[in-house]
Structure 1
Amino acid sequence: MAQQLAIIVLVDVGSALESRTLTGNTYLFDNMKLQGSVNQGTGELVTAVNGAYWSDGSQAGEQVLNWLPYSLGSIPPTVPRGYHTTRARQADQEALAELAALANRPSANGDTDAALARIQKSVGTRVRTTARTRALSGQKVLDVTGQVVSDHGQGAHSYPAPVITDIFGEAVDEKIIYPAEYGSPDLVTDGWYWSATVDTSRPGTYVYKMRIQLHELIQRAGDWTWEPVNLTCESKLRITSQPRRNGFTGAGVGYLPIAPATFA
C-alpha cells in the first residue's frame, strides 16, 4: 500500500516579493525526518523516499507525495474558509451602524467630517479583482489579526496563500515522479492540492522545481488589486531501495509480532 508523504512549503511572502526570489525565503518540511530526510526547515530539504516491499523483498507499490503551500506571517490557513468574507461583512455592518448613529446625532461640521473619516478608515477597501485574480474576488485587505487594513502602503497586511502552479524538472523528466493537481474536499487547501506518485524502483537523488504564484498588493488607476508574481524554487528527493527498520518491532523487515489466531 502506498504511503502518504507530506511536504510543507512555507513562504515568507513579504520578503520574497521584496527581493523577487524564493531563495532564502522558503522553508520546507516533511514527515520523513525519522526516515532520513535532511535539512528540515530550510530551502535545501532533501526528502527521503523509501521503497515499499513485501516480505519476500519485491516492490509493493509507489509512494505518494503531497505538497501543501502556506504563507509565513499571514492569517492561519486553519480559519474557516469564508473567514475573509465574514470579516468584510462585519466591517460593512459596523460602518452602516455608525453612519445611522451619526445621522441621528446633531453635531458640528468638524465633528461630522472626523466621524466620516473614522468610518471610512474602519470599513477599509475592497480589492478589485482581475481575470488572473478572480479567486480573491470580494475580499478586503486584512492584517494577521483579522482586522481590516485601511493604510495599504504600510505593508502590514496579510498575504493570500501561495499557489503552486506547476511541478517540473529532472525528477519529472526522468519519470521518477508523476505530479498532478487534484480536487479535494479539504477546506485548508481551498479544494486543490498537488500530489505525485513516486517510482521507488530507481534509487538516487533527483531535483524537482516548483513554480509558485504569490500575490502583491499594488495600486493601479486609483484601485488596489492583487498582482500575481510567479517565482520558482527547487527541492530534492532521495530514493533508496533498501528496506528500512521495522517501526513496530525495531528490527529489520519481517512479519509483525502478532499472536497466531486461535480457533475453537
Structure 2
Amino acid sequence: MPQQLAIIVLVDVGNALESGTLDGNTYLFDNMKLQGSTNQGTGDLVTAINGSYWLDGSQASEQVLNWLPYSLGSIPPTVPRGYTAERARQTDQQALADLDALSVKPPATDTEAAAELGRIKRTVGTRIKTTRRTRGRLSGQKILDVTGQVVTDENTGAHSYPAPVITDVFGAAVDEKIMYPAEYGSPDLVTDGWYWSATVDTSRPGTYAYSMRIQLHRLVQEGGEALWQPVNLTCQSHIKVTSAPRRNAFTKAGVGMLPIPPSPPRP
C-alpha cells in the first residue's frame, strides 16, 4: 500500500498580493523530516521520497503526495465549514432585532434616527458580490476579520483572506513522468471537498523540481460593490527520490522481524 505524504503549503496572502509574487511568501512543511526532507518551513522544501521494495529488491509500490494549501493570518481552517455563513446569519439576525427595537422606541430626533440606522448598517457588514469567478464558496459571503467578526469597513485591509487554491501542478517532475498529479474530490471539510494529489515513481532516484499554480483572491471595489478578484501566481518546490528502502522504526534497520523481549522470570 502506498505511503501517504502530506505537504502543507502556507501562504502569506496579504504580502503575496502586495508584492505580486509567492517568492518569500510561501512556507512549506511535510511529514518526512525524519526521513530526509530538508528546508522545512521555507519556500525551498525538498521532500524526501524513499523507495519501498520487496525482499528481492523489486519495487513494492509508488508513494503518494497530498498538497494542502492554507492562508497565513486568516480564520483557522479548523473552524466548521459553515462558520462564515453562520456568522453572517448571526449579524443579520442582530440587525433585525436592532431595527425592531428601533421601531418600538424610535429616537427623539431625525438626526438620532439616522445615526442609529447608520450604526445598524455598519454592523451588518458587506457581502461579496456574486460573479462568474466567485460563484460557489466565495459568493454572497460577508467579509470577516481573523477573529471572525464582520468587517464594517472593507477599506481598512483588516480582513481574512480566502484560503489559497492550487489550480495546477506541473514542471520537470511531471514532464519526466516521475510524478502523476491530479485533482480529486473528497468529503474532507478542511479542503472544501477538493485537493491535489500525485503518485510518485520511486524506481528512478534523483532530485526533481515541480511547480504549483496557486490562485489567491484580492478584495476590490467595483461599481460600489465588493468582490474577490482572483490572482494567479506560481511557486516551485522539489522532491528527492531515493532508492534506499524504508527503515524499521523500532530497530532502525531494514524491514524484518521485530525483536521480542525475553519473558520476565516467574516469581
TM-score, length-scaled by structure 1:
0.96
Give the equivalent residue in structure 1 for 2:229.
Answer: 227
Give the equivalent residue in structure 2 for 1:83.
Answer: 83
CA distance in 2, matches of 1:89, 1:106: 25
Q: Which runs of 5+ in 2 are unaligned?
A: 262-267
Q: Which runs of 5+ in 1 are unaligned?
A: 260-264
Q: Deviations over 1:98-131 (max 9, x none)?
A: 0110111132222211111110110001110211
CA distance in 1, matches of 2:106, 2:197: 62
CA distance in 2, matches of 1:215, 1:229: 6
Matches within 5 A, 1:58-207: 58-107=58-107, 108-135=109-136, 136-207=138-209
Give the equivalent residue in structure 2 for 1:6.
Answer: 6
Q: Is the 8 A contact 1:143 1:158 kept in 2?
A: yes
Judge which range, 105-114 or 167-176, deviates more. 105-114
Give the equivalent residue in structure 2 for 1:32.
Answer: 32
Give the equivalent residue in structure 2 for 1:262.
Answer: none
1:57 deviates by 2.2
Secondary structure at 1:93's aligned position in 2? helix
Instruction: Give the letter for the 1:118 counterpart.
Output: R
Instruction: Give the letter for the 2:58 counterpart.
Output: S
Q: Is the 8 A contact 1:55 1:254 kept in 2?
A: no
1:254 deviates by 2.7
TM-score, length-scaled by structure 2:
0.94
Secondary structure at 2:94's aligned position in 1? helix
Give the equivalent residue in structure 2 for 1:218.
Answer: 220
CA distance in 2, matches of 1:60, 1:224: 53
Secondary structure at 1:97's aligned position in 2? helix
Secondary structure at 1:142's aligned position in 2? coil
1:258 deviates by 6.4
CA distance in 2, matches of 1:255, 1:47: 29
Aligned Cα RMSD in Å? 1.2
Q: Deviations over 1:118-167 (max 9, x none)?
A: 10110001110211111211200000111000111111100000000000
Judge which range, 53-62 or 94-103, deviates more. 53-62
Matches within 5 A, 1:222-261: 222-257=224-259
Superposition misfits of 4+ residues, deviation over 3 angstroms: 255-259
CA distance in 1, matches of 2:134, 2:251: 51
Instruction: Give the letter for the 1:141 counterpart.
Output: I
Secondary structure at 2:128's aligned position in 1? coil
Q: Deviations over 1:39-86 (max 9, x none)?
A: 000000000000011223221100000000000000011111111111
CA distance in 2, matches of 1:32, 1:47: 7
Secondary structure at 2:255's aligned position in 1? coil
Q: Is the 8 A contact 2:52 2:246 kept in 1?
A: no
Matched residue count: 259
Instruction: Give the letter for the 1:188 counterpart.
Output: V
CA distance in 1, matches of 2:144, 2:238: 35
CA distance in 2, matches of 1:247, 1:12: 35
CA distance in 1, matches of 2:156, 2:71: 18
1:243 deviates by 1.8
Q: Is the 8 A contact 1:49 1:63 kept in 2?
A: yes
Instruction: Give the letter for the 1:127 counterpart.
Output: I
Instruction: Give the letter for the 1:203 counterpart.
Output: P
Give the equivalent residue in structure 1 for 2:265.
Answer: none
Instruction: Give the letter for the 1:155 counterpart.
Output: G
